[in-house]
Amino acid sequence: MKRTTTKLADGRELIYYDLDDDAERDAVDRRPLEPVESRPELRLDLATGDWVTIASHRQGRIHHPPTDACPLCPSGDGHYGEIPAAHYDVAVFENRFPSLAGRVGRCDVVCFTSEHGASFAELTEDRARLVLDAWTDRTETLTALPGVEQVYCFENRGAEIGVTLAHPHGQIYAFPFVSPRTAKMVAVANAHRSATGGNLFEDLLAQARAAASRVVLAGEHWTAFVPYAARWPYEVHLYPHRRVPDLTRLTEAERAEFPGMYLELLRRFDRLFLREGALAQAAPTPYISAWHQAPKSVGAELALHLELFTVRRTADKLKYLAGVESGMDSFVNDVAPEAAAERLREVAS
């Protein structure tokens, strides 16, 4: 992997990750951009103890532009976007409309490919490995920044999820606090350690591997399974067999196996609803793919793992977070976890 760091016209950082060690990245961003003015504010919800980010500047961000105006496509032929190069493998840059910035964390955009109409599932294993290397590199760099407590790499795919740019991309948030979901997991893991003497995530993996009905895909170093109490219609957790706190601690063998397994999971998600009608064939499955990594200060018990889930429950029905879920944070799942795992095994390549 070759990493090349440069600057955009307004001073934001841009990083190219290339498979070719001889790749030259000397294109200059010639757009007349004004410096970014973003002042996100953290406010503590005194009723729950959760931090809420107020980022009113994001109201003006780009929303579903036409393909020829996509800011994540390569520049050229009169089009000038966020990436000056005419082609790239993987590119990472500071978000122009960040939820977190300055003393309040940081937000990066990760472009998985220069091909606008592609998807992560269509990447080769080498290219998927390059994305993993970019996630790992950014995790290491952002974790070292003063004030950063937790690094969160994720992908939103599909308008149903709320994606405003169709180009295949994800984001990385460097939180100056421990996210509410992580804090809850850490608390439960600490209680589990006190009660049993074991690690919660190691035990969850062992239980899943023992219950074959929930295992979706198993390799030498990773296992993908549907959790016992899945919240989403189709939800898969991907764990390395060896507990590590974050991406930077994976071994070469673990990194080498990951791309093939992850790509297979994504392709299975895209085949989930094919038998249910033409709608699903015309619209790829929307999903959220989320890396859970240990925070710096309180994460000793938390294990690195990836959670992949979709809000689609049938070809033409979505799982909406309505009164019970949004109002009380109490989930009701319409699909039995064992049935979801069986369906995900049925659609194997």
Nearest alpha carbon to residue 271 among 343, 165, 178, 164: 343
Those residues with Cβ within 8 angstroms of residue 123's Cβ, 6 or more apart along the chain or in another chain: 112, 113, 131, 263
Q: Which residues pair with 51 in a beta bridge?
A: 44
- Per the residue annotation, which of 79, 87, 169, 305 is the catalytic one? 169
Task: Give the integer Cα–Cα distance in Å for 145 and 180.
Answer: 21
pLDDT string in tens for the chain (349-residue length): 999 999 999 999 999 999 999 999 999 999 999 887 888 999 999 999 999 999 988 877 777 888 889 999 999 988 899 999 999 999 999 999 999 998 899 999 999 999 999 999 999 999 999 999 999 999 999 999 999 999 999 999 999 999 999 999 999 999 999 999 999 999 999 999 999 999 999 999 999 999 899 999 999 999 999 999 999 999 999 999 999 999 999 999 999 999 999 999 999 999 999 865 554 454 789 999 999 999 999 989 999 999 999 999 999 999 999 999 999 999 999 999 999 999 999 999 8
Question: Is residue 79 flagged as an active site residue?
Answer: no
* 79-83 contact pairs (CB < 8 A, 24+): 80/29, 80/30, 80/31, 82/8, 82/14, 82/109, 83/14, 83/111, 83/114
Nearest alpha carbon to residue 150 among 295, 305, 302, 297: 295
**Under DSSP, is residue 305 helix (H, G, I), strand (E, B) or coil?**
strand
Task: Give the integer Cα–Cα distance in Å for 97 and 108.
Answer: 10
Identify whether the C-beta of residue 156 lies closer than 8 Å to the C-beta of residue 162: yes
**pLDDT at residue number 102:** 86
Identify whether the C-beta of residue 111 lies closer than 8 Å to the C-beta of residue 168: yes
Q: Distance of CA 101 to CAs 40, 52, 104, 108, 127, Å?
A: 7, 14, 5, 10, 29
Task: Give the integer Cα–Cα distance in Å for 252 and 67.
Answer: 38
**pLDDT at residue number 314:** 93
Domains of the chain: 2-175 (3.30.428.10), 180-346 (3.30.428.10)
**Under DSSP, is residue 257 helix (H, G, I), strand (E, B) or coil?**
helix
Q: Distance of CA 144 to CAs 172, 224, 275, 306, Å?
A: 14, 30, 47, 22
What pTM does this model have? 0.96
Query: Amino acid identity, residue 182?
Result: T
